[in-house]
Amino acid sequence: MSTVIAGNILVVDDEKLIRWSLKECLRKEGYHVNAVESGNEALQALEEEPYDLVLLDYKLPDTNGLELLEKIKPRYTSLPVVMITSHSSVENAVAAMRAGASDYITKPFQNEDIVIRVAKVLENYRLRTVVAKHQEENFQRYSFERIIGQSKEMSQVIQLVKRIVNTGDTTILITGESGTGKDILAKAIHYNSPRANGPYINITCTAIPESLLESILFGHEKGSFTDAKAQKKGLLEEANGGTVFLDEIGDMTLYLQAKLLRFLEEKTFQRVGGNRDILVDVRVIAATNKDLKKMVNEGHFREDLYFRLKVIPIHMPPLRERTGDIPLLVDCFIKDYNREFKKNVKGVAPDVLKQLEEYHWPGNIRELKNTIERAMILGSGEWIEANGMPLDLIDERVESKDKTDSILKLTKKGIDIEKLEEDLVRQALQMTGNNQTKAGRLLGLNRDQIRYRIEKFHIELDRSSED
- What's the pLDDT score for residue 398? 47
Beta-carbon contacts of residue 48 (< 8 Å; ≥ 6 apart): none
pTM listed for this prediction: 0.66
State the 10-residue block means of pLDDT for the chain, 467 residues long: 61 92 91 94 93 92 91 90 77 81 86 89 85 77 85 93 88 95 94 91 87 89 83 92 95 94 93 91 96 95 96 95 94 93 92 90 92 88 82 54 43 59 85 84 80 85 58
**What one-character-per-residue DSSP string does 254-281 give?**
HHHHHHHHHHHHHSEE--BT--S-EE--
**What one-character-per-residue DSSP string does 65-112 give?**
HHHHHHHHHHHSTT--EEEEEEGGGHHHHHHHHHHT-SEEEEES--HH
Pairing status of strand 278-279 against strand 268-269: antiparallel
Pairing status of strand 103-107 against strand 81-86: parallel
Tell me the Cα Rg of the chain.
Answer: 33
- What's the pLDDT score for residue 89? 66
The DSSP letter of residue 458 is: T
CA distance 353 to 138: 30
Pairing status of strand 81-86 against strand 410-411: unpaired
Task: Single out the residue of 368, 350, 357 nearest to residue 324, CA to CA.
Answer: 357
- What's the pLDDT score for residue 391? 57
Beta-carbon contacts of residue 17 (< 8 Å; ≥ 6 apart): none
CA distance 463 to 429: 13
Beta-carbon contacts of residue 47 (< 8 Å; ≥ 6 apart): none
